[in-house]
Amino acid sequence: MSHVNASVVGVVGAGLIGRAWAMLFAQAGLRVQMYDAYPAALDACIHEIEKLLTDMQASELLHEPVAAILARIVPVTSLAEACRDAFLIQENVRETIPAKTDIFKQMDLLAHPQAVLASSTSWLPASSFTESLAGRARCLVAHPANPPYLIPLVEVAPAPWTDENTVSVAMRLYARIGQEPVLVRKEIHGFLLNRVQGAVLNEMLNLYEQGYASAHDLDKVMKFGLGLRWSFMGPFETIDLNAPEGVADYAARYGDTYAQVARTQGHNNWDPEVIARIEQERREQLPAEALQQRARWRDNRLMALRQHQKKQPL
Ligand SMILES: NC(=O)c1ccc[n+]([C@@H]2O[C@H](COP(=O)([O-])OP(=O)(O)OC[C@H]3O[C@@H](n4cnc5c(N)ncnc54)[C@H](O)[C@@H]3O)[C@@H](O)[C@H]2O)c1
């Protein structure tokens, strides 16, 4: 069997997230062996990457020519070729337990025993699709945020049986390619980012449903309020600064009130009738045909914000 090579990775699944990983790995100088079960998806992916890199070059975000980065992304026609020599294989197929179970079973058979097997799953704990594998100790979740080349967070979430070395190889790799890995110490459905996002969305839906504000004004609470602070520091650091003597002082002043409010913050069922009203309000703000253009605008704003953030001390 071949040996692992510290400058080779495999990327499995060439959709939205797979191609983002390929770009990030290749920009960091790694050779990327890129596989998709559908050859057409692989072709489309290489084409998309070229377009994205060209846009990034126009914004002066690349350190070398597009062609040099593209040359490190090697489309391959089998999973075995994607795994060959790779020290880490990043899986990005459909978000279902059977699909993840099946692809991890194959990757565990094909990859070198020392290789790390990482899944981009957004919600599924690694234990839900790796339990029966001989190599389950080298499996974990590495969940990126979308789009990963603009939002650097990666949630590294091991299963109870993942070994420490696997975790540290993964944490080091994501840091090396310029991402910001965080460790999810215990398995939990949805990891950290989507749980926090879910908590905010559920409260927004409750406030909307109960008639406290329009969707537009609720978005403004984030856009002109919390989101501004939270774009460069987290809620814990925020409250540390919002009372003269820090977190404990903040909690002494406002903790009881937050606890009282928390008792009135129920779950939300995402009622289709309420969603339809929000949809209508959104379409009045932004017609469906303008969605893509607005997403491009968002990516440009994110790019500017990220450049600002990179220049700040941590
Ligand atoms: N879209 C997001 O915002 C986002 C963010 C973070 C994580 N994720 C996670 O990333 C994963 C991929 O999501 P996506 O949005 O890129 O999906 P996608 O539908 O864009 O891409 C999936 C790709 O996998 C390919 N594929 C399917 N079965 C395969 C197989 N057996 N072998 C090889 N290739 C196969 C498909 O042809 C397709 O190209 C999911 O687990 C998702 O939860 C998505």
CATH number at residue 87: 3.40.50.720
Q: What is the pLDDT along the chain (314 residues), one digit of tens a residue?
A: 557 999 999 999 999 999 999 999 999 999 999 999 999 999 999 999 999 899 888 877 788 999 999 999 999 999 999 999 999 999 999 999 999 999 999 999 999 999 999 999 999 999 999 999 999 999 999 999 998 988 999 999 999 999 999 999 999 999 999 999 999 999 999 999 999 999 999 999 999 999 999 999 999 999 999 999 999 899 999 999 999 999 999 999 999 999 999 999 989 999 999 999 999 999 999 999 999 999 989 988 888 888 888 888 77
Of 134, 155, 183, the residue at which a domain comes to its end is 183
Residues 270 and 244 placed together within one structural domain of the fold:
yes
Give residue 42 CA to ligand 1 midpoint distance, Å. Answer: 12
Residues 223 and 152 placed together within one structural domain of the fold:
no
Residue 247 confidence (pLDDT): 98
Count CB neighbours of 36 within 10 A.
25
For the four alpha carbons of 232, 233, 239 and 243, in that order, the dihedral sign comes to negative
DSSP 306: H
Residue 257 confidence (pLDDT): 98
Residue 310 confidence (pLDDT): 82
| Residue 188 domain flag | no
> With contact defined as beta carbons under 8 Å apart, do 30 and 48 qualify?
no
Q: Which domain holds residue 198?
A: 193-310
d(CA 13, CA 91): 6
Question: How much is the CA Rg of the chain, to the nearest whole Å?
Answer: 22
Give residue 147 CA to ligand 1 midpoint distance, Å. Answer: 13
Check if 146 has its Cβ closer than 6 Å to any atom of ligand 1: yes
Residue 2 confidence (pLDDT): 58
Total number of domains in the chain = 2
Give residue 132 CA to ligand 1 midpoint distance, Å. Answer: 23
| Residue 157 domain flag | yes
Strand order across the 31-35 sheet: 73-75, 31-35, 5-12, 86-91, 116-119, 139-144, 153-158, 180-183
Check if 200 has its Cβ closer than 6 Å to any atom of ligand 1: no
Residues 135 and 221 placed together within one structural domain of the fold:
no
Check if 90 has its Cβ closer than 6 Å to any atom of ligand 1: no
Of 150, 183, 216, the residue at which a domain comes to its end is 183
Residue 1 confidence (pLDDT): 52
Check if 36 has its Cβ closer than 6 Å to any atom of ligand 1: yes
Give residue 305 CA to ligand 1 midpoint distance, Å. Answer: 27
Residues 176 and 199 placed together within one structural domain of the fold:
no
| Residue 132 domain flag | yes
